[in-house]
Amino acid sequence: MRKPKEEAWRRYVEGSVVSALRLYRHWVRRGLNREEALRRAVKQAVGMIESSHLSEEEVIKVLEDLRGMAEAIISKLRKGKGVM
């Protein structure tokens, strides 16, 4: 069964964050300072997100969900209850 288009667009927004993170790491490895690497990676992510067809409100919701998930995982790992 196919997912609704909105779900595919949400996944595209999520993927843009992963892509930006990889691009950021690439630029840092190539010798760019972290600030410039971040600026370039964010620019690329925003460009991708703008083509997602989601409203700004929906994009922000997806990004807030990602942030919340990352913070929850970090918290659990710091409490020593993770898999590491």
Distance of CA 31 to the CA centre of its chain: 22
Of 47 and 83, the one with more pLDDT: 47
Distance of CA 56 to the CA centre of its chain: 15
CA atoms in the 13 A half-sphere facing the CB of 11: 6
Long-range CB contacts (< 8 A, 24+ apart) of 56-64?
A: 58/6, 58/10, 59/13, 62/10, 62/13, 62/14, 63/13, 63/17
pLDDT score at 38: 98
Mean pLDDT to the nearest integer, 24-44: 98
